[in-house]
Structure 1
């Protein structure tokens, strides 16, 4: 078993580490087009992101007054995943200053993991295509464990997969599942103001909010000091 890192920063993926919405919405609209439905408005559809592919599909259809039965939801979700996987990094980019922040934090002894409600296979594919896999001790998706965000177990089990203890964790996210999971796990959470939350991020009461990743290294040092108190 690997040695526990002194401090572990766990990132959400969609809307936090990377701006994945263009590729997600494009795949969603491909499915809607195949179903004879109008394309989803980009801003509206972006707010559906963060709960996994099936919820994205269900919410997009609900916006058209359509409630999907279980089998239809499964079929459309698989079709969406296929379209998305084919174009997963076509328009996706990292948010500004992500890599610089990680470099600074890594020099200060931080290690990193991913905890996302995206399928693990898709998260791994995206990170591989962006040449980022090697930066993370663990990459855990919404289907990696029995629980997923907003359950705190998703974060704690991601930390276990990375060999970390919960007292040394910092969670970074953009929406309710991230903040609530961190609160459930009892770990500090930094929310980004530029993500995909469909509600004002401050109303979720995260530990702190940043408007850019250039703010993260200094804040991380305050929230999880190099030496535990």
Structure 2
């Protein structure tokens, strides 16, 4: 019996940064390029890692705050545009797939599940990264931070992705690494799996997910456990 038959699952929605790929080196390089252009000292890679998860505008805001600058919307906008240009010039130079990522997507496709990337990174950047790793044939739906009117932790992006895959909140599971992923899944009425080692600086066990896994290699065992738990409660 397949995972669909056992659980009614129709779709898996994956976060990108910290879940499918480690993009911190490229994001940190662009962040420090921006800081340098403003006359500020660079941040350590681990400092930038903890700032990721709520989109590029929030990252720029946090990076500038770390250097003592609090920005209003008018001052933030041109810095976000410059950050987008710096990062857009080098999206994949040092970005790498995380362990088990390709295999999890391939297993999901073999199981007949609809697959989507749902990330606060801009959609165009996200599609470039997905294509760079040859995942675009596996992932037909990419929802970025500029696809919908709101970003995670609001539920709109997840609901949009699920609908495009013919799924409902009850038949979709979010897979991520951060509080934004968990909060958006809860708001959308979806189950959520968290992968350890992601971004944001909060321990995976403290994020409130339905289940926590070490790597994406453990994903389908986790989904089976979720299905068994649901059956036991029925």
TM-score by length of 2: 0.90
State the match for 2:36 in structure 1. Answer: 33
1:188 aligns with 2:191: yes
1:175 aligns with 2:178: yes
State the match for 1:154 in structure 2. Answer: 157
Classify 1:100/1:223 alpha carbon distance in 2 versus 1 (closer, same or farther; 3 Å): same
State the match for 2:100 in structure 1. Answer: 97
Which deviates more, 149-158 or 112-121? 149-158
Kept in 2: contact 1:16–1:174 (CA 8 A): yes
Classify 1:6/1:216 alpha carbon distance in 2 versus 1 (closer, same or farther; 3 Å): closer
**CA offset digits 1:28-50 (Å, max 9, x no partner):** 00000111100011111111111
Which deviates more, 168-177 or 103-112? 103-112
State the match for 1:21 in structure 2. Answer: 24
Classify the secondary structure of the residue corresponding to 1:117.
Answer: coil
Aligned partners of 1:139 and 1:92: how far apart in 2? 18
Give the deviation of 1:55 after TM superposition: 0.5
Aligned pair partner of 1:61 in 61, 64, 86: 64
Aligned partners of 2:104 and 2:73: how far apart in 1? 42
Give the deviation of 1:129 after TM superposition: 2.0
Classify the secondary structure of the residue corresponding to 2:134.
Answer: coil
Which deviates more, 103-112 or 88-97? 103-112
Which deviates more, 62-71 or 174-183? 62-71
Q: CA RMSD in A?
A: 1.8
What residue ranges of structure 1 are gaps of 5+ in the alignment? none
Kept in 1: contact 2:54–2:151 (CA 8 A): no
Classify the secondary structure of the residue corresponding to 1:114.
Answer: strand
Classify the secondary structure of the residue corresponding to 2:209.
Answer: coil
Kept in 2: contact 1:85–1:122 (CA 8 A): yes
Classify the secondary structure of the residue corresponding to 1:136.
Answer: coil
Kept in 1: contact 2:108–2:115 (CA 8 A): no
Kept in 2: contact 1:170–1:224 (CA 8 A): no
Kept in 1: contact 2:9–2:172 (CA 8 A): no
- Within 5 Å, give how 1:114-129 maps onto structure 2: 114-129=117-132
Kept in 1: contact 2:116–2:139 (CA 8 A): yes
Kept in 1: contact 2:106–2:138 (CA 8 A): no
Classify the secondary structure of the residue corresponding to 1:163.
Answer: coil
TM-score by length of 1: 0.92
What residue ranges of structure 2 are gaps of 5+ in the alignment? 1-7
Classify the secondary structure of the residue corresponding to 2:142.
Answer: strand
